[in-house]
Structure 1
């Protein structure tokens, strides 16, 4: 969580930060604004809790002014109206005149001299935040190896275990999210954890990155694939020795897919995504594509099985163990987040399987997810696709 302390008195700042540290917050979780200029510049960050002083100067070394109400109004207008507010003041004599207007804005008043009381109130607010923690986006990875690139590419991450969910919290362009490693590969684990995380964290976007298989003559080793539609190849009916497939489908919504296709067409995209990667690379690069995926919980290493799967949909190109579950979870959830599913082909579902391109595929797909999420949230400002 992020806390902004709007206070010009360093002794009070030290008291607040010391208490927050004792409750598990880290230095990067706390933003300090010592004047209105600082406050305005830092308000674009995602803030969960504001600790406010009544009197704040407009600029460095300026005289303190009664800016408390202006601060609250700015917070509301900035879109942070769901943040929690507490005003901790050294002037309790002013509370009777201010209480009604502050509390009508959801701001609790507390006397700085009554240390035990403001600490107790602050603890209560922190508990509220922990119980209603939300993220702008959640990314899933089936393997630890697939999550590792987010740790190396971004320098703002933090490991957290939440109710048994293995999270790595990150920020992308001031949007807060987490990268979740599934306990096991496969549709069942992906569906359960995607549903659980959507319900708990209420993200606007979910996604998955990592490695996948590909259909021969349709894709190439090392090629980045983005899911436009996915279906489950395991659903259907067995009768005697015959399996009649009933492939349930889920898709990427039109606005998101249009944005993703635009990104895939960017000049030198693969060169940009490969930048800073150290390790084995494909013999040659291939144009990324938006394709149809099929998903199931079994590893495919059979030409006959691939042929049967491709008979259902002539344009299916990628095969993996999780994408359909991620897209279906987004589709049927109450908040219906957008979904971005991108993986890199590391084998052609035959007996020639090895891990030579695993690190490459994990890195390139993770970097594409980061770029896509950044683009999608900027698109929100232009096209209101999250309305």
Structure 2
């Protein structure tokens, strides 16, 4: 049942709009039969004359217009093929009308095919001969609608969109985390997306050898849920090759010094598991069931090379704009635990470390970023 509902939800977005400009009840019935045979949703409007057709096109952008050549100007007027021809020409010239993406002409009179085909040919549209005796015209119309549905499906499929940015950066807080990123030289430009309360900034990190296009944004609040949502929006809106999170994490005693850089090799939610009641004492017991997500191997290898070679680390410390610790700055690559709250309890940290002995730090957001990226639509960062 759920599978069926999911399929319907997907189809409702693959919708094309068709304008049927036709004054014949018989031909309209045949056209509606074709539309009804298409599994995806095809929304259509009917205009019985050219004046009504122009009124529709003034307000709606149609994917396809099926135009009967012989039409009245208004309901009650005599139909004429000149009216269909004039409408086609006006669509091509008018700035007031929304031009349909595709147009198919129909007529049941062979003499009109010969006389008016050139008008359609000039716009690379087709004028088809309607007939009750063969299905050539209806097969062509159905093929065109199916093509438009397929094209729209590809456009709406996120996996068809290539990477647009080299790097996306998510931060948990606007200040000091996002503001620190925006102090980096990148010629930042603010971006707003209609309907989205988040603010985004795009720029370019550049030196003599490389150029990296970057976009960054802060989550609306702290925590895994917010970071996962913000990461999903960043991926959907900007399609980055790499997505990263910068921020402040709590360290683990004897696993580093204040100011060290932590790179997450393995991310997990330390609150994932089951709370059981011990019958004898009625005490509760937590049984963890972590589902860790690893860093991509190529990025992990890059980070480990920096960790061992100390490339960039001395420059970061010497160029730091504020007071820096006296000890040597290090990059520490290892597991990082994420949870719902800030921990100031040694026993809880010891319990987490017992299940991840190489734990390097604890925060509230990283697993949300990893989970959103790992389960995003293709192309995945």
TM-score normalised over the length of structure 1? 0.51
Runs (5+) with no aligned partner, structure 2: 1-122, 125-154, 156-160, 278-283
What is residue 107 of structure 1 aligned with on the other side?
Answer: none
Query: What does 1:189-338 align with in structure 2 at a 5 Å threshold?
Result: 189-240=226-277, 241-267=284-310, 269-335=312-378, 337-338=380-381
Indicate the structure whose relative CO is greater, using CA pairs within 8 Å and at least 6 residues apart.
1
Cα distance in 1 for residues equivalent to 2:246 and 2:315 = 17
Q: Aligned pair 1:179/2:222, yes or no?
A: no
Cα distance in 1 for residues equivalent to 2:295 and 2:275 = 30
- Report if the CA contact (8 A) 1:134-1:200 is conserved: no
Shift of 1:157: 0.7
Deviation per CA, 1:116-161, whole angstroms, max 9, x where unpaired?
A: xxxxxxxxxxxx9xxx894332100111211222222214112223
What is residue 137 of structure 1 aligned with on the other side?
Answer: 167
Query: What does 1:352-367 align with in structure 2 at a 5 Å threshold?
Result: none
What is residue 197 of structure 2 aligned with on the other side?
Answer: 164
Shift of 1:268: 5.8
Cα distance in 2 for residues equivalent to 1:154 and 1:265 = 27
Shift of 1:281: 1.6
Deviation per CA, 1:70-119, whole angstroms, max 9, x where unpaired?
A: xxxxxxxxxxxxxxxxxxxxxxxxxxxxx99xxxxxxxxxxxxxxxxxxx
- Report if the CA contact (8 A) 1:225-1:289 is conserved: yes
3-state SS of 1:328 partner: helix
- Report if the CA contact (8 A) 2:334-2:360 is conserved: yes
Runs (5+) with no aligned partner, structure 1: 1-98, 101-127, 339-387
Change (3 A) 1:289 1:206: same
Q: How many residues align?
A: 211
Change (3 A) 1:312 1:267: closer
Where in structure 1 do 4 or more consecutive aligned residues deviate above 6 Å?
A: none
Cα distance in 2 for residues equivalent to 1:176 and 1:288 = 24
Measured on the aligned residues, the alpha-carbon RMSD in Å equals: 2.5
3-state SS of 2:377 partner: coil
Query: What does 1:65-80 align with in structure 2 at a 5 Å threshold?
Result: none
Shift of 1:223: 0.8
What is residue 153 of structure 1 aligned with on the other side?
Answer: 184
Change (3 A) 1:261 1:336: farther
Change (3 A) 1:200 1:155: closer
3-state SS of 1:316 partner: coil
Shift of 1:325: 1.3
What is residue 65 of structure 2 aligned with on the other side?
Answer: none
- Report if the CA contact (8 A) 1:293-1:316 is conserved: yes
3-state SS of 1:179 partner: strand
Shift of 1:285: 2.2
Larger Rg: 2
- Report if the CA contact (8 A) 2:186-2:204 is conserved: no
What is residue 29 of structure 2 aligned with on the other side?
Answer: none
TM-score normalised over the length of structure 2? 0.52
- Report if the CA contact (8 A) 1:142-1:182 is conserved: yes
